[in-house]
Structure formats: C-alpha cells, structure tokens
Structure 1
Amino acid sequence: MSTTGDTTSEIHAEPQAEATATTNRKQPFGRGFLDTISTGWANRPQSLPAQREQASFAARRREAVSAAFPGRRVVIPAGEQKQRSNDTDYAFRAHSAFSHLTGWGADSEPGSVLVFEPRAGGHDVTLYFRERADRTTAEFYSDASIGEFWIGPRPALAGVAADLGVATAHIDHFAAGEDDVLLGEDDDLTRFVSELRLTKDDYELAQLRLAIAVTADGFDDIVANLPRIIEHPRGERVVEGLFHQRARNEGNGVGYDTIAASGPHACYLHWTRNDGAVVAGDLILIDAGVEVDSLYTADITRTIPVSGRFTDIQRKIYETVREAADAAFAAARPGVTFRTVHETAMSVIAARVAEWGLLPVTAQEALDADAGGQHRRYMVHGTSHHLGIDVHDCAQARREMYYDGLLEPGMVFTIEPGLYFQIDDVTVPEEYRGIGVRIEDDILMTADGPVNLSAAIPRTADEVEDWVARLA
C-alpha cells in the first residue's frame, strides 16, 4: 500500500500524558528522546500507486448499491479490531461486504467506513479511514495501535484513493446520521450486499481459482509429511501447522479454522481442537481452505487413509460418499434449485445406509420430508453452501434466493456429503464405529453445467491411495 503524502522529516511534538506517565509497561520518554526522535528520517517517495485490478469490479458493485438505495445515505463499516486478551488483538479482517465494495482486502484499515452520500442521479462515495500516525505526530512513537514506529507504514489518503479508485477522507470528517442505512442494522442493506455476491464476476472467479490452487499445494504438504505426522503425539496439530504455513506463505492465511480430524474425531463435524494423534490404520479428515490476500477462500475436504490404503469397510463408506457427491454434481444445472443438490446427495446416502441395514425404515420412508429423516443421523449437515469472500458466502440472502433459489452461471458453491459413525453409536455394527468420511469440492456453475474447480485434488479411493504412495 502506498505511503504517499509524507515528505516531512521533522516533528515538534510535546510529550503527551500517555507518553510520560509511568505504568506497569509504559515508561516515560526522556527529553533527549523527544528532542531527537523527529530528526534523521529520509523523505518518503511521492509517487502514487497504479490502480489495483479489482478496483473497476468494486466500482460496479458500488453502482449496484447506489441504484438499490436512491436518495439514502448508506454506510458500510469495515469493523474494528477485536480483543484477544488484555492488550492483544486478533488479526484484523474487514467485513466481507466492505471489502467486496472497496476492493480493499488483507491490507484494509480497522475503523474504516465506506459512505454513499445521496445526490441527484446517484451517490458520491467516500472511503473514510484514519491516515497513518506518521513522524509529524507524537502518535508515531507513542501509540502502539496506530503509530508507524510500532506497526510499520500505514496507508495515506492519496495513495488509497489512487489504488482503489475511490475518493478518500480522514475518519475525523465522518459523522454518523440519524437516518443512515447502516450495514448490520438495516435488514434490507444487509440482505442486498449478501445477495449481490450470489454470482461472481471474473475477478472473483480468478481469486477463487488461486485460493483453490494454493489449497491443493497445502494438501500435498500434508500428504508428503504423513510419516512425521504419525510420529508426533499430536499429529493433528502438525497437519494444521503444515497447512497454515502454506496459507501464510502464499496467501493471507486460512479462510476458517482448519479441521484435522483423525480416527473417531472425524465424526465431529467441527473438530478444530486438533490435538489428537494420527494413527496408522485410521482415516484422517482434513477440511481446510486458503484465504488469499483479496480475502477469497477455498473450502475443500479430503479424507485420507493414514497408512496409505483403505480397509474394505473404509473404502465402502468412502466410495458411497463419493457416489453421493458425484450424483449431486450431475444434478446441478442452471435453472435447478439449489436444494436439489442436497436432496440428490441425501437420496444416495439414504439408499446405501438402508441397504446396509442401518435404518428402521426403507430409504423411501426415510426421505419423507415430514415423517422421515432417519438417515440424517449419519449426515446431519447440508450438502452445499455458497463460497466466495466468505467461506459460507451470501448467508444473509433470502431463502428464496439461496436454498430455494435457482442455480445460475457464475455461482460458486460446495458439494460436501459425508457419513459419520460415532465411536459410541450402537445403531451401527462395531466395524463402522469411529469412521467419518467427507469429500468436499468447490463448484462453479457455468451456462454449460457445473465445473469442479478442485478436481485436481485426488478424489476417488484409488486416486487417494496413489496420492499417498507418490508423496508420503
């Protein structure tokens, strides 16, 4: 991010109360420090950055918001940093709608606000944020939250304006209004910006492909290190760490908490404790996605035999899950309802668990919407969700636009059926207990049908076994 706008090499700052007060951690600044801290700094370059690629896409999204709220003042906050403990914060991530409408991703500033000021024929849009506390202020050295001495160079107003293609102003000039249409408080706005992301533009699709490619490399890292993962007493934590390293090296981080669930832990749908051993003979379910700097994320799950080979019962369960995923993929077409994908996968799951004698009713009876559902004991979650700048994207969209909505070209969603037989579930034979399998892929709908964006990551049982043999 540009640091344009500061060519001053000297400050004349008086000691602030905070700077001179002695606390448990903050020590007073001596006069010698205060007299010399303002000198000896090189001037900064004045060149403006080129406009980033996503700026034109974000501008079109803002036009859609403007058209939807004529004559209204619309306010989209980025959000503030959140406390982790005492005086430490979690890493900041701007609200997804804010990033979607500005094009500002991992480098966005806490406390920023995007404002649509109504005017004849549309809106004037301004991005307000706190410009850096640079060497012209005492905050430069005394404020650990915004001072550049503490956190490094921060963006300047002119640099951001050129970078994002939007007018900027200091946050001190922003004032909330009583009639503001405010994200998070106004249901219509919250719904609209969520539904705006149901279909992805070319930039978003490119970012999702990038996130998936890096995620694939992260899965390769895990498979290649299976021997040392097995050796560690908390092998699940090693899996998590390997993937996180890839995510940080080539992206912004992980798009959500990695699930590294080995053995019976795979039956817990959101197992993120990741503190168990990875034992030969078990399966390990890995649900992970890289979030790239634009904040778009992949969401992929693979279930891998730790020893490199599926047992007969593991293979039977695994291939049933793949059969359900393939059926759901085949059912996904433009004009088909989103819920059809789930219903198709569940039909396969119901048929197979009934065939195995696990249901007290027939598969058809289990699929009855009102009286059935017995098969859901072994797959309680849904099969699909939209994917994008949020891992569960478009979550505030209306039901008739989401679950009951029609699939359209440009939509990106997951297909992720599973089967989970808890370790203590006495409704299933003992050899099934403790086995959990999920296969999750990221799907792009096109005019010609669905495209599996993550198909390069091994999926079939045979492919997975070959994968382990090749890399581990």
Structure 2
Amino acid sequence: MSEEQKQADNRKRPITDEFRTFVAEDWAPRSTDRPALTEAARRAADRRAKVSADHEGERLVVPAGGLKVRSNDCDYVFRPHTAFAHLTGLGSDREPDAVLVLEPLGMSEEQAGHEAVLYFRPLAPRDSQEFFENPRYGEFWVGARPTIEDIESELGLTGRHIDQFEDAVGKDAGELTVRVVRDADAGLTARLDTIRTQAGAEESSLQEADDALAHDLSHLRMVKDDWEIEQLQEAVDATRVGFEAVIRDLPTLPERGRGERWVEGTFGRHARHQGNGVGYDSICAAGNHANTLHWIKNTGDVEPGDLILLDAGVELDSLFTADITRTLPVDGTFTEAQRQVHDAVAAAQEAGFNAIRPGAKFSDVHAAAIRVIAEHLHAWGLLPEGVSVEDTLDPEHGQYHRRWMVHGTSHHLGIDVHDCALATREEYMDAELVPGTVLTVEPGLYFKADDLKVPEHLRGIGVRIEDDVVVTEDGYRNLSGAWPHTAAEVEAWIADVQAG
C-alpha cells in the first residue's frame, strides 16, 4: 500500500494471530496447470533480440510502472508502459510494479546477448500477510496473481520476485552501462539514479543515456510485423461494432439530454466488451463542439439536424488500438452545406491515400491532402483576396488555410494511438514509408460558429474523416477500407444499420 493510501486508510481491521491461522486453513490445492507461451510473447522475444543487438553489454531496465492513486485508497485502472508491453507481450492491466531487465550475458562472442528477466510480485502463499490483508495486491482483494512458473511459461523468460530487483540491478553498476526507461516509474528511476551515481556514473550523463534507450524503443515500433497488423485489423473491426451501436441510437439522442455522454457511454461499453477498453478518450462532438479538435468533455446536447463527430477506437487486450473518425448526421441525412464540407474532406482524404506508397515520404500524405483542402477553400472564396492555392501552401508566407485545418493529416498508430512519438523528425515526418508502416489519414475542416470569415451557412460545421492504413509492397491497405467515406455512403450506412 502506498503512503498516500495508508494516510487515507482509516478503517480498523482487527487481525488476531488466531484469525490469521484460521484464514490460512482449508483451501483447495492450487492448479498446477501452466499457461501456454502466447503469440504476443513470441513476438516480444524477437523485439528483445533487436534491442539486445543494439545495446550489447549494457543492462537495460524497462519498468511497467506502478499503480496510481485516483483518490484516497482507490487506484486508477492500471495500464503498463508501452515499452514494457512491447518487449514482454503483457497487455491489459498487467503487471503493476514489474520490471523487465535485459541482463548482459557477457562481452565475448560466446556469451553475447542478454537474458530477459522479469521482476514482479508473484502470487503470495495463503499463510502470508499479503494474502488476506493487502488491499492493493492481496488475492482476497484483487484476485490471484501469476506465480513465477506461470510467468516463465507464458512469456518464455526468467521470472524473479520484485524484492530481488534492486540488488540485481545494482550489481557491477560501476563496470557496465545501465539504462532505464525514465518516464515509466519515477520512483524507481530516482532510486536507480542513486545506485548509478554511487557506482561512479556521471549524474549529468544519465539522462542522455536513458533518453537514447527510450528513443530506440519508440523507433522500434515504426514498422509492424504481420501479427501486429492483424491486431490492428481486429481493433478496427471491433471499433466498427461500437460505431454501429452509436448509429442505432442516433434517433434517440436529441431527447436524452447530454447526448454526447450517451454516445461516449455506448461506444465505451462496446469497447470494453470487445477488447480492453477505449484506446484514448473518445471525442463525441455534436454541432459546434466538432470544431474543438480535442473535445473530450462530451457534455453537450445533441440536437436534430446536428452532425456528430465521433473519433474513437477500441484497444484490444494486447493494447493495440484503432483510431477512426466518422462524422454522422443525426437525422440520417446531410444538409447541402454539411454535404459540401463532408465531401471536400472526403476528397482530401482520397488524395492522402493516393500519396501512400513505399518510398514516398510520410509528409507527402499531408501535402497531398492539404492541397485539396486549400483548393476547396480557394474555390469557396475563403482565402484572402489575391491569395492563390500556391500562395497559401507557401510555408514561409502563407498557411491561411490552417485557420480551418490546423492539425496534421497523419500519425503512426500501434500500441499507442500516437505511436513512435520519440522518433526524430528525420525518422518521422521526413522518413520514407516502408511496408509495415501503419498510419492514420485524417483530414478535416472546422468552421467555428463565431468565425466571421466563414459564410453563415457553413458556420458551426466541423467534419473529420479518419482511417487506419498499412503500407504494403505496392501501395497501401486501408484497414478500415470497407467503412463508408463519402456523404452518400455514410447516409446509406446509417439507413442500413438502423433498418437492420
């Protein structure tokens, strides 16, 4: 139990020696069955081999992170650090406080490589204090934890008790480089900094060395293997289930009050049922709220005639997430103004798709989509007088179009919804697309209700369309390609779902 929890724990629990003896007695034997090695763990072992080759002779420390207090003695639902999940194969809410250590075997060719060791809190015996008395880890409170044998069988690595971690990580710390993923567990990082400096490491060099490891682990996720792409496809397919549940509810939203919250709850229920939950806070933005790019308050009413912009994704138990956006007419039919904006965005998205191929730059996708956005804004007379499409696309003296589409068109997607975030610009925006890259394509147009530069009939309309795409050997595959894209297709989709 954390110090914060201890301070909030004011309930008396009288525990006598007699009771401890009583509660430890007469339990059925535990099962001796062990979990099979998972496919996620097999893939994680391949990733660890790549990391090992890049950090020969170094001790690498990758924490899962710990539980975080929500209030008083209640914790938030745990989600492991992305690097930890990627290198162990553990997803869902496993294993708080665990630490993966890649322990160097030696510097000679015969001993090159690393042993993967997972330090964690294993299942406690029934006669232990933890079993009944610990509300954060005890089996009575949170269920049975895996044993060391379970972890070794499931993950194909070495398991050890977390109590052994600090002695092991500090061993020979002055004779080899020790790196840690710093942001995963601040307390552990602080303790490891002390161990390393006491062993002779320069304090000023620790951050730089650790940042290099974090960068490498983020960059490692830029190209997905076939299993990861399958996971993302499953996440996209599960996301459609949630979207169609929302579509069935569209006619009822105006009468409910706070209809945005209803949409959030409907999608969230299906996300939790289909997978681990939502991959990020869902944006359920009706009417003018769609023009606030990260509208996650979802407190608004939904009125007849509104559009509702739903940006949401299911995260699987493996933590791979979809990221899809569709803008839906609550009445099932777009008005002419809404259709005008929607089809302009759909045309921009199509241009973005057409820019995706091996050898193209990541930034080419945005360049293609934003040109179409600029062309429509110019045709509608929204750019300043005398400003051409080429003028507004000038990065030094133009950019007028960004008043109505401020964000980029694409980002990497994987375990994190904005994956590979620590890659450099040269590795991200300026990099060439290669098979296995997964990215979103999500142009939009946002005309705020109080924007006097916009014709009145367009004010309050916000539209975004977003799909998840994998680069292939000869182009791309849209993981959400079967979803509707044009206004006419969206209308037909709504009619079909509501009729069925």
TM-score by length of 1: 0.94
Q: In structure 2, how many angstroms separate the alpha carbons of the residues matched to 1:42 and 1:202? A: 43
Task: Judge conservation of contact 2:341–2:463 (CA < 8 Å) in 1.
Answer: yes
Matched, 1:238 2:238: no
Q: In structure 2, how many angstroms separate the alpha carbons of the residues matched to 1:134 and 1:366? A: 68
Provide structure 1 residue ranges, at least 5 long, that are not aligned to the other structure. 1-20
Q: How far apart are 1:471 and its partner, in Å?
A: 2.2
Match of 1:135? 126
Question: Which of the pair is proportionally richer in helix?
Answer: 2
Match of 1:180? 178
Letter in 2 for 1:51: L
Match of 1:275? 299
Match of 1:101? 87
Match of 1:359? 383
Matched, 1:208 2:232: yes
Task: Judge conservation of contact 1:160–1:168 (CA < 8 Å) in 2.
Answer: yes
Letter in 2 for 1:433: R
Shifted more, 157-166 versus 170-179: the winner is 170-179
Task: Judge conservation of contact 1:22–1:28 (CA < 8 Å) in 2.
Answer: no
Instruction: State the SS of the aligned residue for 2:232.
Output: helix
Matched, 1:321 2:345: yes
Q: How far apart are 1:23 and its partner, in Å?
A: 6.2
Match of 2:146? 155
Task: Judge conservation of contact 1:423–1:434 (CA < 8 Å) in 2.
Answer: yes
Matched, 1:460 2:486: yes
Q: In structure 1, how many angstroms separate the alpha carbons of the residues matched to 2:229 and 2:44? A: 14
Provide structure 2 residue ranges, at least 5 long, that are not aligned to the other structure. 1-6, 106-110, 183-206
Task: Judge conservation of contact 1:212–1:290 (CA < 8 Å) in 2.
Answer: yes
Per-residue CA shift, 1:375-423, capped at 9, x if unaligned? 0000001100000010000010121111100000001100000000111
**What stretches of structure 1 move > 4 A for 4+ residues in a row?**
none
Match of 2:197? none
Match of 1:397? 423
Instruction: State the SS of the aligned residue for 2:222.
Output: coil
Q: In structure 1, how many angstroms separate the alpha carbons of the residues matched to 2:251 and 2:112? A: 64
Match of 1:382? 408
Shifted more, 127-136 versus 390-399: the winner is 127-136
Match of 1:10? none
Match of 1:335? 359
Shifted more, 66-75 versus 132-141: the winner is 132-141
Letter in 1 for 2:73: D
Match of 1:419? 445
Q: How far apart are 1:457 and its partner, in Å?
A: 2.0
Instruction: State the SS of the aligned residue for 1:141.
Output: helix
Distance 1:23 1:98, change over 3 A: closer
Matched, 1:34 2:20: yes
Instruction: State the SS of the aligned residue for 1:125.
Output: strand
Match of 2:196? none
Pairing 1:35-54 to 2, within 5 Å after superposition: 35-54=21-40
Q: In structure 2, how many angstroms separate the alpha carbons of the residues matched to 1:426 and 1:68? A: 55
Matched, 1:81 2:105: no
How many residue pairs match? The answer is: 452
Q: In structure 1, how many angstroms separate the alpha carbons of the residues matched to 2:252 and 2:32? A: 50
Match of 1:449? 475
Instruction: State the SS of the aligned residue for 1:197.
Output: helix
Per-residue CA shift, 1:180-221, capped at 9, x if unaligned? 111135121111111111110111111101100000111010
TM-score by length of 2: 0.88
Q: In structure 2, how many angstroms separate the alpha carbons of the residues matched to 1:200 and 1:336? A: 18
Task: Judge conservation of contact 1:134–1:148 (CA < 8 Å) in 2.
Answer: no
Per-residue CA shift, 1:287-333, capped at 9, x if unaligned? 00000000000000000011111011100100000000000000111
Output the aligned Cα RMSD: 1.4
Q: In structure 2, how many angstroms separate the alpha carbons of the residues matched to 1:145 and 1:347? A: 54
Identity across matched positions, percent? 53
Q: In structure 1, how many angstroms separate the alpha carbons of the residues matched to 2:70 and 2:457? A: 43
Matched, 1:435 2:431: no
Match of 1:190? 214
Q: How far apart are 1:107 and its partner, in Å?
A: 4.5
Q: In structure 2, how many angstroms separate the alpha carbons of the residues matched to 1:432 and 1:73? A: 58
Q: How far apart are 1:229 and its partner, in Å?
A: 2.2
Shifted more, 170-179 versus 110-119: the winner is 170-179
Task: Judge conservation of contact 1:133–1:146 (CA < 8 Å) in 2.
Answer: no
Task: Judge conservation of contact 2:365–2:409 (CA < 8 Å) in 1.
Answer: yes
Q: How far apart are 1:30 and its partner, in Å?
A: 4.5
Letter in 1 for 2:277: G
